[in-house]
Structure 1
Amino acid sequence: MAIYYSIAMQEYKLKRGFSPDIERIYEELEKCFPSGVMREGDKLLVSYGVITEMSVSMNGKKLVVDTVMDTSTGDDGLILDTNKRFRDFLQLATGYTAKERLKQAKKDVSK
């Protein structure tokens, strides 16, 4: 029996100079997730590793990412690989490191 959970939809600001162009985002997804990227209207969909479905779109100048993961796998290597690819994608797409994204999220919560 597979156990799935969904991460709440996350929005990420783009660093100055990083275009909110969905075609650029598509290229970054392809670099990080070799399983293939599908299009569904204005959304990009990816399935890779423990990510059973990831939906990526733009909301103005913000990147919107919604993921569904299969947590039932016991393969630590697969989990680590998937998480690394996800973090790499976010850095390529937004221009911000994980540490910078965390700092922004804390700042947004305190507003």
Structure 2
Amino acid sequence: MQEYSIKRGYGKNLEENMIQSLRDQFGVEPEESGGHYTIAFGALQRLEVWTGEKGKTLIVDTESNADVDDETIIETNRRFRKYLEQVTGYNSKERAKKAKKAIED
């Protein structure tokens, strides 16, 4: 499970953005259960997302499917990174920097 900070301005409609981004990046309709949204796509057997405390963070829990080819893994990872950027407003480098800073604090 991983928690991601949301860039200022991206948190206003976080839940709506979180759901629409799943549709945009993975092309599937998420299943909702108690505020958690779940999909399965490519190398992701399960991708579950929900908002964190006070709706200021995105929490992601994944379960991988190791029985897929390399091309599927690469495509799934690409879409997952795009999803995180679309929802959080931070690119991969910025997310890594934030995670490192959070560990140091």
Q: Same fold (TM over 0.5)?
A: yes
Q: Please give the secondary structure, in 2, of the residue aligned with 1:35.
A: coil
Tell me if the contact between 2:51 and 2:58 (Cα under 8 Å) persists in the aligned partners: yes
How much has 1:109 moved relative to structure 2?
1.0
Look up the match of 1:3. Answer: none
Look up the match of 2:66. Answer: 71
- The separation in 1 between residues aligned to 2:16 and 2:41, in whole angstroms, is 20
Q: Which structure has more helix as a fraction of its residues? A: 2
Moved runs in structure 1, 4+ residues, more than 2 A? Answer: none
Query: Residue 56 of structure 1 aligns to which amino acid in structure 2?
Result: V
How much has 1:47 moved relative to structure 2?
0.4
Between Structure 1 and Structure 2, how many residues are aligned? 102
- The separation in 1 between residues aligned to 2:43 and 2:2, in whole angstroms, is 18
Please point out which of 8, 14, 21 is paired with 1:16: 8
How much has 1:70 moved relative to structure 2?
1.1
1:59-91 per-residue CA deviation (whole Å, 9 max, x = no partner) reads 121000000001232x11100000000000000
Please point out which of 53, 58, 73 is paired with 2:51: 58
How much has 1:21 moved relative to structure 2?
2.7
- The separation in 1 between residues aligned to 2:90 and 2:28, in whole angstroms, is 24
Look up the match of 2:24. Answer: 31
Q: Which runs of 5+ in 2 are unaligned?
A: none
Please point out which of 95, 99, 102 is paired with 1:105: 99
Please point out which of 86, 96, 99 is paired with 2:90: 96
Q: Please give the secondary structure, in 2, of the residue aligned with 1:83.
A: helix
1:29-48 per-residue CA deviation (whole Å, 9 max, x = no partner) reads 11001132111120110100
Look up the match of 1:6. Answer: none
CA RMSD after TM alignment? 1.0
Percent identity between the two aligned chains: 36
Q: Which runs of 5+ in 1 are unaligned?
A: 1-8
Tell me if the contact between 2:14 and 2:87 (Cα under 8 Å) persists in the aligned partners: no
Q: Please give the secondary structure, in 2, of the residue aligned with 1:71.
A: coil
